[in-house]
Each structure stands twice: as structure tokens, then as C-alpha cells.
């Protein structure tokens, strides 16, 4: 397996979950049904804050220098993202850690962390697309562009993680370890999405 095949395999294995995380119901789930701009900004800010904390923790704990440097750079970017989004709402206070980041913080192996990061990024791309669409629908092109720019940063982060992962995986078994972690991250996000909707009496599956 190589880097491109890895990302494609993760996408394919988690096609249903990623599709639903990219649906219009995802913002409804994240905001607890409060689809107002301030609530959407608060939910987005909480996600960016959690990401900054997770990757900062990884950077401090890593014994792999290359991975530590990568995670530190990502943490810095995510901290900037948090400041950008949190500035849109008054007195933002981070809420509970999202299930996705709770899962990621439990990973302690470099390859698993890199794989988990790939899963997180694929899920986050879906949410950024929904955020961009939401503010476009609100006739707020400036805010839509903010999230479009944040999504652009995800693309470079993904490239860096996959490139490093390719250097750290020497066998199919090691690629599988990374893929399992990626799937675990997406599954954590999807299960939280499902539980949130079901708690509000909403069917998480699309109506065909």
C-alpha cells in the first residue's frame, strides 16, 4: 500500500459514515438543533479548540521527532483557526471534548496517531463543507470564505500526515494499523452524530 491507496482505502471503508457526516443533518446534530449563526460558530470554535489541544498534546508526548514537529505545526494552525472562529462569538468557552478527539487522545503510537489524524481530517473536511454551505445560505459570504479557507488548510495537513505515514509504514500490517486508527476516528465522530440526532428524535439515516 502507498499513501494514495491508503487515503482511498480509508474513504471507501468509511463511505457511509463520511457521507452522513457530510449531510445537512451534521450541523443540526453538532448544534443540538440550534441552527443559528452564533450556535454554529460556537460549535465550530469548540471543534477547533479541541483539535489544537489534541495535537499539542501529541507533539509534547511524541518521541518521533518528525511526528512531533508535524503535530506541533498542526496544533499551531488549529489554534489560529480557533482564534479566528471564536472571534465571531462573544465569550466563547470550550464545551466537552468531542468524541472524535476523546478517541484521538487515547492513541499513543505514532502510526496510529498519523492514521487517526487522517480519519479526523477526512471527517473534518465534510464538516467544513457544511459550514461553508450554511453561511452561503445565510447570505454571509465572508463567513463562508472563512470556512473555505480553513478547509484549504486541512488539505495541506492531510498531505503532510500521509507523507510521513508512508515513511513510517514498512509492511501491510503497519498500514492496517494506521487504517484501523483512521476508521476508529471516523467511527467516533459518526457515533456521536448518530447519538445526538437520535436524542432529538431525528433519524440519522437519509430518507430515500
What's the pLDDT at 84? 94
Burial of residue 10 (number of CB atoms within 10 Å: 0-12, 13-18, 19+): buried
What's the pLDDT at 24? 83
CA angle 17, 34, 145 (to 5 degrees): 70
pTM for this one? Answer: 0.94
Q: What are phi and psi of 140, to 5 degrees?
A: -125, 75
What's the pLDDT at 94? 75
How far the first Cα of the chain sits from its last, in Å, is: 36
What's the pLDDT at 76? 97
What's the pLDDT at 204? 80
Is residue 192 within 8 A of residue 123, CB to CB? The reply is: no
The CATH fold assigned to 3-11+36-199 is: Ferritin (1.20.1260)
Nearest to 62 by CA among 101, 103, 111: 111
Q: Where are the domains of the chain?
A: 3-11+36-199
Q: Which residues of the chain have pLDDT under 50?
A: 207-208
What's the pLDDT at 206? 62
Q: What is the pLDDT of residues 11-51, one digit of tens each?
A: 999 999 999 999 889 999 999 899 999 999 999 999 999 99
Unique residue bearing C-alpha cell 448544534: 31
Radius of gyration of the chain (CA): 17
Nearest-angstrom CA–CA distance, 37 and 192 = 22
Grid cell in block for residue 11: 474513504
Amino acid at each position: 500500500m502507498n499513501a494514495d491507496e491508503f487515503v482511498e482505502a480509508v474513504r471507501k471503508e468509511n463511505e457511509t459514515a463520511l457521507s452522513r457526516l457530510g449531510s445537512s443533518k451534521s450541523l443540526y446534530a453538532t448544534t443540538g438543533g440550534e441552527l443559528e449563526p452564533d450556535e454554529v460558530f460556537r460549535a465550530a470554535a469548540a471543534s477547533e479548540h479541541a483539535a489544537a489541544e489534541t495535537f499539542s498534546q501529541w507533539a509534547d508526548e511524541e518521541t518521533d521527532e518528525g511526528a512531533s514537529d508535524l503535530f506541533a505545526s498542526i496544533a499551531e494552525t488549529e489554534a489560529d483557526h480557533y482564534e479566528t472562529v471564536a472571534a465571531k462569538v462573544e465569550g466563547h468557552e470550550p464545551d466537552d471534548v468531542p468524541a472524535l478527539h476523546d478517541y484521538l487522545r487515547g492513541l499513543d503510537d505514532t502510526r496510529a496517531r498519523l492514521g487517526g489524524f487522517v480519519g479526523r481530517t477526512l471527517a473534518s473536511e465534510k464538516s467544513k463543507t457544511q459550514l461553508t454551505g450554511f453561511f452561503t445560505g445565510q447570505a454571509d459570504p465572508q463567513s463562508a470564505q472563512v470556512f473555505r479557507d480553513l478547509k484549504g488548510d486541512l488539505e495541506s495537513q492531510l498531505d503532510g500526515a500521509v507523507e510521513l505515514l508512508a515513511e513510517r509504514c514498512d509492511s501491510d500490517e503497519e498500514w492496517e494499523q494506521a487504517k484501523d486508527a483512521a476508521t476508529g476516528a471516523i467511527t467516533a465522530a459518526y457515533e456521536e452524530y448518530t447519538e445526538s440526532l437520535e436524542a432529538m428524535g431525528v433519524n440519522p439515516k437519509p430518507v430515500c
